[in-house]
Structure 1
């Protein structure tokens, strides 16, 4: 009997606690939104999404906030609208301090900048999404140009492998190789500090311009990345120490188990 009584008391307490939370939540919903608190999580030092961008986006979607009761503010719609921005990775929207609408934004992190042959330029982020440039900031990432015909408008907001999977003809894109190569570079401190420019030649193969030395690295496609960079690293550590950085004009690592160097 005593156990049943204790359970009954705990159930009443739990019900009271849940009811209190519901009342507090309902009370918040009845309040008027006076301000918007923006929090933009950025690890790049480049703010590709700013407060004015979000405000403009809400205005374009007719998502009213300031002066509106929270009961009339659709937080889910605002959240989805912000997430749909091509430079945004994630977003959360919630009520804060009774009169404030909090919008937390996690920005995408670009790892390579693409220039196609039409003069368009855009970034690919760490997760493989195509994202736009910023008028105010430039990310310090490797640059790739050359035989790249992929237009920005076709790929923006899409993850590269998702675009390939929805392509009815099953076509692959050079951006896939660009992404693989850029991902390798950012995950390797040595090569991240050595390679600043990539070029896609007429054969669709990569050539690299290092920061040190006046030579071109003929890399081939994006297959066997680790093996090719290991061969190149051995040349940097052993060969260049003896003969110097500028003895060769071209360094070819695209063939298996060999490095072919062309003298000046």
Structure 2
């Protein structure tokens, strides 16, 4: 009977690979966490610090450094980090060297509510607490704060953030009442009566045309109120 050495070699090679994989897997499970790294993705403004994240992990798990990798449930650690009010998303993973890395995406404030209670409005239209580590430079929302008026303020803020000029110059939204909103600008003395949130594109297009002409005529300082609430018109009240 002729022996097929190629089959024997292939079988031996397969056994060796399986054995090496099993050995590596066993060694990997025995390896401990060598270090912990907290990384913030995107925004440089930190509403949450590395120390605060580490404290959150210690409160829930104790010290993770030198912990057996086999003891860690990464999905659970992610959920703990996401439970912080400043966190939008988190990804946790282990490197081959045993480093535990947490990549964190913070929530993004786009407006700050100054009412009976103070909080941010984030880019999803949800309430976000103020941070003790950093104060966001965003438009201030004042006036008659209700659930509906905040929804409208969110619509206005989203529009403002899509326009470079408005994003840099609008510093406040005052809520006269539901359906009546007033904008304050950084460098100008006048206020802009926006009315409701209907047809914002036309209203701001008309405003930009007015602003360009008044800037050219050097007459901006003459106005106290610029109203956009009337149908396709810009109505100005002089000082």
TM exceeding 0.5: yes
- Determine the structure 2 residue equivalent to 1:241: 216
8 Å contact from structure 2 (residues 149, 178) kept in 1? no
Q: Would you identify which runs of 4 or more consecutive aligned residues in structure 1 move more than 4 Å?
A: 12-26
How far apart are 1:103 and its partner, in Å?
Answer: 1.0
Could you give the per-residue CA deviations for residues 169-196 of structure 1, whole angstroms, max 9, x where no partner exists?
xxxx322111111111111001112211
1:222–1:60: structure 2 CA closer, same or farther, 3 Å change rule?
A: farther
- Determine the structure 2 residue equivalent to 1:125: 122
Distance 2:132 2:160 in 1: 26
How far apart are 1:50 and its partner, in Å?
Answer: 1.2
Is 2:205 aligned against 1:254? Answer: no
Runs of 5+ in structure 1 lacking a partner?
1-8, 151-172
Distance 1:21 1:125 in 2: 47
Distance 1:17 1:175 in 2: 62
Distance 1:34 1:214 in 2: 58
Q: TM-score, normalised by structure 1?
A: 0.77
- Determine the structure 1 residue equivalent to 2:167: 192
- The equivalences for 1:1-264 within 5 A come to 24=24, 26-43=26-43, 45-62=44-61, 65-116=64-115, 119-149=116-146, 173-242=148-217, 244-264=219-239
Q: TM-score, normalised by structure 2?
A: 0.85
SS of equivalent to 1:46: coil
How far apart are 1:54 and its partner, in Å?
Answer: 1.2
How far apart are 1:209 and its partner, in Å?
Answer: 0.9
Larger Cα Rg: Structure 1 or Structure 2?
2
SS of equivalent to 1:200: strand
8 Å contact from structure 2 (residues 58, 64) kept in 1? no
How far apart are 1:73 and its partner, in Å?
Answer: 1.4
Distance 1:109 1:260 in 2: 35
